[in-house]
Structure 1
Amino acid sequence: MARTGRPKAEVKLTEQERATLERWARRAKSSQVLAMRSKIVLACADGRDNKQIAQDLRVHRDTVSKWRNRFVKLRLEGLMDEQRPGRPASITLDQVEQVVVATLEQTPGNATHWSRTSMAERSGLSRSTIGRIWRDFGLKPHQADTFKLSTDPLFVEKVVDVVGLYHNPPERAVVLCVDEKSQIQALDRSQPVLPMMPGMPERRTHDYVRNGITSLFAAFNVADGTVIGELHRQHRAAEFKKFLITIDKTVPAELDIHLICDNYGTHKTPAIKAWLARHPRFHMHFTPTGSSWINQVERWFGFLTDQMIRRGVHKSVQALEKDIRAWIEQWNDNPRPFVWKKTAEEILESLARYCRRISGAAH
């Protein structure tokens, strides 16, 4: 006679239990263990045997048998993890709350911010415990960042205008992000730079010799990433006008030109306004005051600084300008446009959430 084995416990679900199990089984990230147990019980309720369920869900047959029997005995509560034995917690929730509140709302009397040592002395807990509490709550008192909220009364209108150009540029037109990187210093180190060696980074002296400054006027094409650049020793409205003339000569005559600029005074002088009036294909769009992050050319300036200027060594302004021109030429040989993903609505909503967070009584 064939061996039939131990009979399986039959699983029958009420409508409420099935709805609860289906909701638990759909969990994408949290409580994946509970989601798998729910899938096992639902499969058992459909009349499938343990072997087939184990193959479909890629678990062991004993696992299927365990949760089938546990559900039959304890129903939904049986799928939860049981309280496990172990040493009780050495600190209370009140102590954790006191550390978090003190970190957020107070400062030590002899410093501007808490350290693990100073908070441990205040709370009576160990330094390692303070570190775990701060890590669990994402608190980093040793770090500080900067911010700038624009006070421009036309902030919303300007954000909508500039971001609209990024997402929906006008037809038969070119959109250029224009700005000046002023006072770029030609720096020479007081001693020769020591090259990188295995196990040792490149080394340079902390002091330097200034050999003059120059200013870079740049126009970044948001469509293809190409850059129109021009160097001048001074940074005035006269130089900005010369740069506008260069842009006018470079861009094909049949295209309109939309310039995204900041609110620097040289962009709005009577001479500049008169020149723009004589060249109607130029359209000026100004970023909000204190919001240079919205101008894409600033990101391009970051690449230039990181890759050429910051660690460069130049014995004269002419050498600095030569290297900048060469770097721009290499960039334009393989231009890379930036992809602007945030819409104006998302930017404004993000700013609104931030303002709500800092609008408490302590701010």
Structure 2
Amino acid sequence: MTEDLRGAVVLRESERAALLALSRSRNGSHALAQRAEIVLACAEGAGDTAVAGRLGMSRDMVRKWRTRFAEHGLDGLDDRPRAGRPRKVDEAVVARILTRLLDTPPDGAREWSTRVMAAETGLSQATVSRVWREHRLQARSSRGDLRSPFPRVEVRDVAGLFLDGTTRVLAAAGRSNGTPGRAALAPTPQARRLAVRARNLVAVADALTPAGWAAPASTAALDSFLEDLGARVPAHVDVYLLVADAPGGMGVRDTLDAWVERHPRGQRRHFSFDPEGSSWLDAAEALLAHPAPLGHDDSTGYGTTLPKLRAALRSWCDGGTPPAGAFAWIGATYDSSDAGGGQTRIRKDGNVIAGGVADAERAASDLSDPVVQELLETLLTATLRSGERVKEAPLADRLGISRRALGKALRVLAGEGLLEALPDGGTAVPRVGIDTVLDLYAVRSALGTLLFRRAAMLHSSELHRIRAALGEVRAIAKSHTHDRIGAADLYFQDMVARTADLPQASLFFQRLTLRLRMFITVLGLDFLDGAVDLIAREDARIFDALREGDGDEAARLWRVKIERSVRYMATQLPDAAFDANLWTTLAGRPDRRAGDPSKPRPTERGGAPA
């Protein structure tokens, strides 16, 4: 590159080709593309004023980038480091941002963005943006065509993920579209959004892998992952391995080649080592952006798997500190079409259940299913109105799952009484009336009495989970964090139920807790200072009775707590007439004694339902 006597830019062919590529790039920086256009226009012999008018910018900007290119070539078009020492982000802050991405976005936000993350964490948007850029996280789909690394392949599911600090393996279950020379269909907007969610989960897992990209490790963990993958994915399902490994990791490549040879349905695409992992992550996003259509709404199958992966990552991180060693995850349950057009479901124990929709629905009717859990937590943190119909399309889009998977999860919640089933197959927010309140609290009172008496029979050393839950209640009460005290109180009660070693009673009690949480959400209850302190005093006295082995006193205090709570809840119902005689007949009258926690003053709204 030179300048002629008139100051015009003279380009070599290689420079012209590079500048044309930059100016036409749909994936690169807009600013860099604009600078390339400036240099190309100057190379045509036009002056700074003419180029500025043609491109719609100032003459000073044209002069700046023409001069920078003349002095430094293509490197001169990059941004120069800013003056001053770059700000560092503490590792704890990075871990906080990354692990927060494993939660669903707050109410009202469809996706995580740097703005939403900044608001949730209390950090600046600039800090969040730096962390996202460093770890290759994205708020939206990449621009461009998203060319899949496996042409003509349509992804059915995310079958597994392996990360050990030296090796990255994403396993996808998929199928070829069967037409040589025909590329996969262009990604739909929903598929692009879902692919970004999957990419970010994988990026978070990679960022938190403690070993770091150092020397190649033993292939024993990878061997185990691949054998598990081969055993738990049906033989008729093709598996595509997207791999990146550290330099010199030939043992890893030999291991993968041997597995593909033993499993002819497997294919592998290897990416060379990249310290930032950008090529591998970009390829993962592009692969997952080409899903196989599963129904009339063109829904993506692996949307039901992402909550399972998210739950596995939460468990793996457990407090923000991942354990040493590899992260190896196999999709515990997933659907994939077989040759007959039916469905095959892989259970959590790895056994295959062949069947149709009825078997799939029976397998899904479990509140412990990650999809159901994520749906429930989303509903419990939303603004709900009694009797309001659940709108499935925006909810499925927010959770990143298909309408069919969402429908199954909604039916599970309706079967548990957490939602109301409608005649047309839809669901609605439950109607909370005085009868439902009395019914729930009467059963909860009786079950709680049984469980609290049983827990008091245990040795004090066996009450550690209850003690830890009480510590959380006290900490929240001390900080006056009103919006968290209700959940902490219910968690304390559930810990008593779990510790009591009465599995059936504990299960029913915890499911009643979920119904109570739904009632609290529907009624929009809150807790002010009087209620916060009241809850802490109640729970402390109950724990003292349990620790001292006084089951009668623990049960009595529980009944006092229930009595106060049910009367408060009844006052929050519009036009409700509380029948004290009916309640006393159902649940009895508590034995109040001097020193029992008193209810908050009438001016202090938030009576703390138990």
- Per the normalisation by structure 1, the TM-score is 0.33
Q: Which has the higher contact order (CA 8 A, sep 6+)?
A: 1
More helix by share: 2
Structure 2 length as normaliser, TM-score?
0.22
Larger CA Rg, structure 1 vs 2: 1
